[in-house]
Chain A
Amino acid sequence: MTSLGTSRNDLPLEAAIPAAAAPLESILCTEELQRRPSRPPDYEAENRALVHLVSRLADSPNTILQTLAETILDITQCDSAGLSLLTKDGETPDVCGTRFYWPAIAGTWNPHVGGGTPRNFGPCGDVLDQNRTLLFRHFERRYPYLLPVIPAAEECLLVPFYVAGEAVGTIWAIMHSDRRTFDAEDDRIMASLGKFASSAYQALIHMEDLKVQVTERERAEAEVRALARGLETKIRRLVEANVVGIVLWNLDGAVTEANDAFLRMVQYDRDDLASGRLRWTDLTPAEWRDHDERGIAQLKATGIFHPFEKEYIRKDGSRVPVLLGGALFQGSGNEGVAFVLDLSEQKRAERALRRSEAFLAEGQRLSQTGSFSWRVATDEITWSEQLYRIYEFEIGVPVTLDLIRTRVHPEDVSLLEKMKMVVEARGGGNDFEWQYRLLMPDRSIKYLHAVAHAIRDRDGQLEYIAVVQDVTARRLSEEALATARSELAKVARVTSLGVLTASVAHEVNQPLSGIITNASTCLRMLDADSPNVDGARETVRRTMRDANRASEVITRLRALFGNRDTTTESVDLNEATREVIALSLGELKRNRVIVRTELAEDLSTVSGDRVQLQQVILNLLLNASEAMSEVDDRPRELVIRTAPDEGDRVRLAVQDAGVGFGPQGVDKLFEPFYTTKSGGMGIGLSVSRSIIERHHGRLWATPNDGPGTTFRFSIPCNSGGGADAGSAGAIRTPAVTTATPAMETP
């Protein structure tokens, strides 16, 4: 309504409408139309007008009403022609409208286009009321409301305008002067054009509706297409990325489409797919069929099936574990899509994990090693099964300090308590080793050795991880080994003694022989008629010398084989070596061994057991001599050297020109009971090595550049201090004690 009030014409507002001045009959002259002389019907002009209308309707439907107005103007030769449409909203024709709206005006009143009148305050309302053609003369006399619309209408012919069978407006022609009057032909042609215009307008409205509908449909379709394109792009991306296998299938068992990922998984190719050889029913092993059945039941009920694991048979007959999920296409009832994930890697990883867990458990069981973790912040304790076994607790019972205390030896500190002490003392984070004992219910003792490692997890929380090894068996075997070793040392001594007997006999027999010979000579010299006193004195002197020589041998022998405890003293290796050579000279000589000594002057003394060291040297000499027993093509030369060694140590080397130690290698030489000799016990080298090691030294052998082998040992000089004494004494006392030393490594 407001649109009318503000329209471009000069019509007054309704409030200002004056009351009707003249009665309707005084302004109507409709009947005159039939009485006036009429022009003959001009069908040709009418047809032209209609064709024009039609072509304009086709070309420019929006201006059809204006064209209609112009056509009327033209064909009736009037001054103004136009349309009035009843409307509610100012645009749409509506029977129930309250105003007339002038959408098109041609001729003189053209400037009033867009204006209008109230429903009941103008000639249009009369036309609709009477639903027939009416001819008015000076209607402003009845409707002063229209007075301002100038020039005034001398005559106005109005015919109803129908839309969908309802009269919703008028078309009209106006003469502003009396230069001509409307006649029956005008009435006819207006009615004809009115009908046409009604139809055209209806068609137009319909077309506009159609257009709107088409546009809307197109827009909706475009949106759907865009959406589909977006989705399609995403789905295509998913399919082509081949991250997961994607399969299109139907319930009949066919695989209709599949991406490369899926084909790779089952080792089929595109040809198989195209030929229809690839059927999901064939891919499924018999024992998985009922899983499929359940999936299909689910599909039929809900349209989807929840992911489940199964196996597929590959083309080569092998199997691939997969995770499968999918859905039926909406509305298809038979076809669907599924995603397939290859679980091989995951299964392998699971198997590997299970295997490594099994390995770990088995390893812990075999090595008698349990593991232990303690989260400091939460006091959470985790024990491995093997640790439960070591403690002889039922596997899985909650581990508490009280429970642990029922096993730990009353004199010892448990690992957990030790950890807590470390955390309290130093805030934790230190690795350390710990040894303690368990006192089992049957009063037996277990020796445990733990190594604890501090870690911080991702949140920075401190956690201790420890391995706890049951070293009881090792302890016991160490004790047994130490005992065996000391027994071996005795045997070795006896063995050496056996070998030495001949040598010693030689060393003693030589001076004895001299003594007897000299004594015989002496007697003879004194028994002669003229006793040779000077000669006799000389023989006595020689006798005493030889007796001393024999005595020295006995002294050395007693030193070497006397029943004595080990002692620690300063030992001059040169001196010790000379004594050993002296004792074994006979044996060496008998083997035709040439002994050369290269003993370093001013050699530092070493701290240790002289006799034990001499036993080692003797052992090396006898071995060297033995090694050359079958050598005839070169001198059986044996060289003994002493020399200072790096790191404040002294080295002794015994070099032979023997047959070497053969392909068995050096290490075998030092194994107990290894021997290359047909006789002998072969324990010498292993015992020798243990003696040297107890002197904190080492004993090793290397092949010479030429024939033979050189054995060397290197031991620290005296400056090492008295600590060595105790460990050298360890040959008699096993190194193992039942004490529980706490050793912490920073």
Chain B
Amino acid sequence: MIAMRSLVSVVDDDESVRESLPDLLRELGFAALAFSSAEEFLASASVAETRCLILDIVMPGMSGPDLQQELTLRRQHIPIVFISAHADETVRSRLLAQGAVACLFKPFSETALLEAINAALRVN
């Protein structure tokens, strides 16, 4: 049963997001794991399992787009849903152009989140 659930990984330096978002994802029927940085995610065993990556744009150290680039280099084609507290349309357009499935500005609704994840899973 658990194995049937798609793994959605959350990478965000904000603890509040790491606490709340996985719980909601689980309520929505996904498996969820939270990582506080891109480096931590890359070092984990979950990269290959992850069907959708919810990725904060602005983080200390490696940023969200940096991680996206790194995954591309590693040929890990994980659909990415970017999230950001900075509502910057320029950034969103650029990220979508570079292959992101969606880019959500915080705070985002449950509906928007679910749509983005479903879109990501469809890519798979």
Contacts and interface: CB of A to CB of B under 8 A. Distances in A.
Main secondary structure of the interface of A (DSSP, over half): helix
B83 to A, nearest CB: 8
Interface stretch (A22-30, A157-165, A519-527, A703-711): A519-527
Interface string A474-494: 000000000000000000000
Interface size class of B (residues with CB under 8 A): 20 to 34
Contact of B16 (A505, A510, A520): A510
A524 B86 contact: no
Contacts of B14: 510, 514
A509 B20 contact: no
B20 A518 contact: yes
A506 interface: yes
Contact of A586 (B20, B60, B86, B108): B86
Name the residue among B17, B19, B23, B58 with the largest chain A CB count within 10 angstroms. Answer: B23
Given A514-B17, A589-B60, A590-B58, A509 B107 contact: yes
A513 B106 contact: yes
A510 B106 contact: yes
A542 B19 contact: yes
A514 B24 contact: no
B42 interface: no
A590 B16 contact: no
Interface residues of A, number: 31
A586 B84 CA distance: 11
A523 B63 CA distance: 32
A679 to B, nearest CB: 14
A316 B70 CA distance: 88
Contact of B23 (A502, A521, A586, A589): A521
A641 interface: no
Contacts of A546: 16
A283 to B, nearest CB: 89
B85 A521 contact: no
Interface string B8-43: 000001101101110110011000000000000000
Contact of B27 (A525, A545, A586, A589): A525
A484 to B, nearest CB: 34
Contact of B87 (A505, A520, A549): A505
B86 A590 contact: yes
Given A509-B106, A517-B21, A594-B60, A524 B28 contact: yes
Contacts of B83: 513
Interface of A: 502, 505-507, 509-518, 520-521, 524-525, 528, 535, 538-539, 542, 545-546, 549, 586, 589-590, 592, 594
Given A506-B58, A512-B107, 7 more contacts: A505-B87, A510-B14, A510-B16, A510-B106, A514-B17, A516-B108, A592-B60
13 contacts: A509-B106, A511-B16, A513-B16, A514-B14, A514-B17, A514-B107, A517-B17, A520-B109, A545-B16, A546-B16, A586-B85, A586-B86, A594-B60
